[in-house]
Structure formats: C-alpha cells, structure tokens
C-alpha cells in the first residue's frame, strides 16, 4: 500500500514548466470545460492530439505516472462497461438512427451508434487526462496558490489550498506511521485479512489520524495568528510570477481552441456531431 | 461572510482538505461500481462541517475532492460539486449542535442523522446524477443507479463512522459550566 503515492510537482526546465501557473490554470480550466461538454468527435480528436503532443514536450517519464495511468485505465474501462450494461443502445437514442452490426443477446446489441458514442467517451479521456497530468507535474504548488489568487479567488481561500497542498505529504506520512504502529500491535490492515478485521484496522488508523490532525489545526492557527495573518485586505505571494509573452501566447491559443469548440455547437446544432444523418 | 473567515477556519479548510485527500485515497473499501466506494472521507467531512460550519465544510469537500480526483484519475466535476454541497449540508445540519462544548447526546445524534440521510439522498441520488446527465450526457438510468448506491453507502458510512467520530470528539471537549463550586 505504501508504495502507492500521490502525484506531485517534479521540477524540470521545459517550456511547460516555465509557463506561469496562472496561465496553465486558465488553459487547463478552459480546455477541460469545453472537452467536458462537447461531443464533436473531430474537435475531441484534435484536442487529444494536442494534449498528447504537449505531453511529449513536457518530458514526463512513464515511471512517474504509470501507477496513476493504470488506475485511470481501469476506471475508464469500468465506466464504459457500466454505460453499456445500463443502456446498450444509448448511442441510438442520441443520434436518432440505428445501424445494426450484430444482433447480440437480448437487449445487448452492437450498433454503429453505440460504438461511436463509446469512441467519443474514450477521446474525452485521452484529451483531458494528459492535460491534468501535465498540470499537476509541471506546476509548483506554492505558485499554484498564488495563481488562484491571481485569477480572482480570495487570498484566504487560496491560502487554504496552499495549506492543503503543503500538508498532504505530511498527512500521508502520519497515515503510514500510524498504520505501521498498529500493525506492530497486531492489527490486520493488509488485504490478506478478513473484511471485518480490515474495517477494524482502518478505524484504528483513521481515528488517531483525525485527532492528531485536529491538534495540528490548533498549532498552525496559533503560528499564523502570531504572525498576524489575515489582517490586511490583500496579500503578496513569494512564488508569484509575472505574465510573460509566452503566457499570453498560450492563453490566446487555448482561448482560440475553446471558441472553435463553442462555434462547433452552432455548426452541429447542439452538442453532438452526428455522422449518421 | 468575510468576517466569519477566521484564521482557524482557513487552517481547518486546508488541513481538512489534506486529510480528506489521504482518507479518500488510502482508506476506502470499493463496492465494485465506478465512482462508488465505502468511504471514510465523508464521515470525516461530516465531523469537520459540524465543528467548523457550512462554509468550511463546503470548501473542504470541494478542494479535497478536486485534489483527490486530479491526482488519481482526472476530475469528475459533477461529483466534485456534489462533495462541496454535501459539506454545506452537513454544516447546516450541525448548526444547532454545539460539538465544541462536548454536547452530543441522543437528541443531537438523531437530529444529525435525519439531516445527513436526507442530504445524502438529495445530493448523491439527485444533484450528482443530474449534473452527470447535464455535463457529460451519460445514460439516465446508469447515473441514477450509481447515485442511489452512492447515497445509501454514504448515509451508512456517515451514520456509523461519522456518528462514532463525533461522539469520540465530544468526549475530548470540556462542557460549558462543568466546573462545580463546592
């Protein structure tokens, strides 16, 4: 269990690393929003190619993300299968046409429309997941908090996010330490134990973790109050970066792509690109 | 609202979100349906919301779930928004409960659980699937079955683990006026 880690920032010197956090955040939000609502296959394909290219540029290595990618693949496949199990002809409903490929068993037929819908879902995953990975692995967490403030989120909330990112590794460390301590006392927490024992074991870790975290809140609050945090309306950030030319360039490029996506809604007369009519 | 944003609330949101991420990542029991696990993160969210109020609860859910999703399998926005919403509801449910002073008796337990079950139903079997359909246009019956399972599982985990957490927390606090002059 302990070798499963969370993703985090890995310093490097590529173009994507040098982009300011705020620019990356804006680009990420715009692109993932348009990919999320849009179902134009051509657009999704273009964005997927774009994100894969960016991924190559970012020089992220496979071993840094392999554990997460495996997780993502399992999750995505599971989701595709559930969609099919519940609505084997959902594509037919959406595209208003029915091209049968195989009669199948009972209601579980295979139609071109359903396959096409599935392809759209897969493209959505390939378009957004590399972007999310790039964003997480190339953005310094402290700069990220400054970026949030820069795009208009109140600095107190931005600071909460900064605290969360700062303390995740610490909390993870405590979680494992408490886990080892409980194992030393003979509590079963591994997957070998029975479900009931594992629930008990999990409770044995979760309780101390939560109560030590509540103590941690008091300690940090005292430290921040002593330094008079929050007395002013504004706040400057050590990690903040000024926008450079490349940042404006990146934002304009992504804004252009987003508008194309919105324009396609008008062209297709809705969210779906329909090749079946 | 700005005035109620004390330093303690800010820190509670930050640390709360961090703990939410770790619990959501490492202390879960999968039920076999995507997006649907028996969580310890939500009982913890309930505890934090009752102690620190609806604003803190909502933000812990929102920030915690976003970080958890983005660092594991990409953001699933409809459920992230719902996590924020359930935090707010937990916080509202706990408005009349003075956990800080160690008051958490039978009346409070029943009151909180009625609220949390109603909240879980509304959010996971109502709002989340609705957003799934609106944002991702997924099949209606798939998302509602998913949502219903999630709301049941979450009500049970919050009902049992959450209630136990709050009882345990209340025991660590000293009730108001508990000193008796002799």
CB B144 within 8 A of CB B125: yes
Question: What is the distance between the alpha carbons of residues A169 and A180, in angstroms, rounded to a whole number?
Answer: 17
B152 touches A: beta carbon within 8 Å: no
The total of other beta-carbon atoms located within 10 Å of residue B41's CB is 27
Q: How large a percentage of chain A has pLDDT more than 90?
A: 25
Q: Is the pLDDT of residue B106 over 90?
A: no
DSSP for B86-129, written as a single string: HHHHHHHHTTT--GGGT---HHHHHHHHHHHHHHHHHIIIIIHH
- ipTM, 2 dp: 0.85
Q: Is the pLDDT of residue A97 over 90?
A: no
The pLDDT value recorded for residue B160 is: 86
Q: Could B63 and A161 be called an inter-chain contact, meaning their C-beta atoms sit closer than 8 Å?
A: yes
Q: Could A36 and B77 be called an inter-chain contact, meaning their C-beta atoms sit closer than 8 Å?
A: yes
Query: How confident is the model over B12-58, as pLDDT tens digits?
Result: 999 999 999 999 888 776 655 555 567 789 999 999 999 999 999 99
Q: Is the pLDDT of residue A132 over 50?
A: yes
Question: What is the distance between the alpha carbons of residues A91 and B80, in angstroms, rounded to a whole number?
Answer: 26
B13 touches A: beta carbon within 8 Å: yes
Q: Nearest CA of chain A to the CA of B182: how many Å? A: 33
The pTM for the full model equals 0.86
φ/ψ of B36, rounded to 5, equals -125, 105
Question: What is the distance between the alpha carbons of residues A69 and A126, in angstroms, rounded to a whole number?
Answer: 11
Q: What is the CA radius of gyration of chain A?
A: 24
| Chain A residue with Cα closest to B19 | A171
| Chain B residue with Cα closest to A129 | B74
Spell out the domains of chain B, with CATH numbers in brackets: 2-172 (1.10.1760.20)
The pLDDT value recorded for residue B29 is: 67
Q: Is the pLDDT of residue A196 over 90?
A: no
The pLDDT value recorded for residue B60 is: 96
The pLDDT value recorded for residue B115 is: 92
The closest alpha carbon to B38, from B164, B156, B166, belongs to B156
The pLDDT value recorded for residue B90 is: 93
Q: Is the pLDDT of residue B61 over 80?
A: yes
Nearest CB among B11, B40, B72 relative to A217 is that of: B11
> How many interchain CB pairs under 8 A, A with B?
166
The pLDDT value recorded for residue B74 is: 65
The pLDDT value recorded for residue B1 is: 40
Nearest CB among A39, A71, A159 relative to B10 is that of: A159
Query: How confident is the model over A38-76, as pLDDT tens digits?
Result: 889 999 999 999 999 999 998 888 888 887 788 788 888
Query: Residues near A181 by Cβ (< 8 Å), separated by ≥ 6?
Result: none
Per CB-CB distance under 8 Å, the chain A contacts of B18 are 163-165, 167-168, 170-171, 213
Query: Residues near A176 by Cβ (< 8 Å), separated by ≥ 6?
Result: A2
- Residues 14-43 in B contacting A (C-alpha not used; CB under 8 Å): 14-19, 21-23, 25-27, 29, 33-35, 40
Two structure tokens written together for A144: 């990220």
3-state secondary structure A196-256: HHHHHHHHHHHHHHHHHHHHHHHHHHHHHHHCCCCCCCCCCCCCCCCCCHHHHHHHHHHHH
CB A182 within 8 A of CB A205: yes
Q: Is the pLDDT of residue A5 over 70?
A: no
Query: Residues near B151 by Cβ (< 8 Å), separated by ≥ 6?
Result: B120, B121, B123, B124, B125
The pLDDT value recorded for residue B37 is: 64
The pLDDT value recorded for residue B31 is: 54
φ/ψ of A104, rounded to 5, equals 75, -165
Q: Could B47 and A136 be called an inter-chain contact, meaning their C-beta atoms sit closer than 8 Å?
A: no
CB B67 within 8 A of CB B112: no
Q: Could B26 and A175 be called an inter-chain contact, meaning their C-beta atoms sit closer than 8 Å?
A: yes
């Amino acid at each position: 269990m302990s070798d499963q880690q969370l993703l985090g920032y890995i310093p490097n010197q590529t173009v994507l690393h040098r982009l300011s956090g705020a620019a990356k955040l804006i680009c990420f939000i715009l692109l993932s929003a348009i990919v999320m609502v849009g179902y134009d296959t051509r657009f999704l394909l273009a964005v997927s190619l774009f994100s894969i290219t960016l991924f190559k540029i970012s020089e992220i290595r496979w071993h840094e993300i392999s554990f997460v990618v495996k997780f993502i693949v399992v999750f995505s496949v599971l989701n595709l299968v559930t969609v099919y199990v519940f609505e084997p002809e959902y594509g037919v409903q959406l595209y208003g046409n029915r091209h049968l490929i195989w009669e199948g068993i009972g209601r579980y037929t295979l139609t071109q429309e359903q396959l096409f819908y599935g392809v759209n879902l897969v493209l959505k995953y390939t378009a957004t997941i590399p972007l999310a990975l790039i964003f997480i692995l190339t953005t310094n967490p402290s700069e990220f908090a400054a970026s949030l403030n820069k795009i208009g989120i109140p600095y107190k909330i931005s600071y909460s996010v900064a605290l969360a990112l700062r303390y995740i590794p610490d909390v993870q460390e405590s979680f494992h330490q408490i886990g080892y301590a409980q194992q030393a006392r003979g509590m079963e927490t591994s997957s070998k134990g029975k479900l009931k024992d594992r629930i008990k074991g999990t409770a044995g870790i979760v309780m101390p973790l939560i109560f030590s975290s509540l103590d941690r809140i008091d300690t940090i609050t005292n430290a921040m109050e002593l330094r008079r945090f929050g007395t002013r309306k504004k706040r400057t950030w050590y990690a903040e970066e000024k926008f450079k030319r490349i940042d404006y360039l990146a934002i304009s490029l992504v804004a252009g792509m987003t508008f194309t996506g919105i324009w396609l809604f008008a062209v297709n007369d809705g969210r779906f690109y329909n090749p079946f009519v | 609202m700005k005035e109620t944003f004390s330093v303690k609330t800010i820190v509670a949101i930050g640390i709360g979100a961090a703990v939410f991420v770790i619990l959501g990542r490492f202390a879960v029991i999968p039920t076999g349906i995507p997006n649907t696990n028996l969580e310890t993160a939500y009982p913890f969210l309930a505890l934090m919301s009752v102690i620190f109020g609806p604003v803190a609860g909502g933000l812990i859910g929102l920030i915690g779930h976003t970080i958890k999703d983005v660092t594991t399998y990409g953001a699933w926005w409809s459920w992230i928004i719902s996590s924020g919403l359930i935090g707010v509801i937990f916080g509202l449910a706990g408005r009349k409960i003075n956990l800080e002073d160690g008051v958490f008796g039978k009346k409070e337990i029943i009151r909180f659980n009625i609220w949390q079950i109603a909240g879980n139903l509304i959010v996971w079997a109502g709002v989340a699937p609705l957003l799934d359909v609106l944002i991702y246009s997924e099949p209606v019956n798939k998302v509602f079955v998913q949502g219903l399972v999630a709301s049941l599982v979450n009500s049970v985990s919050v009902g049992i683990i959450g209630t136990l957490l709050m009882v345990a927390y209340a025991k660590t606090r000293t009730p108001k006026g508990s000193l008796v002059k002799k």
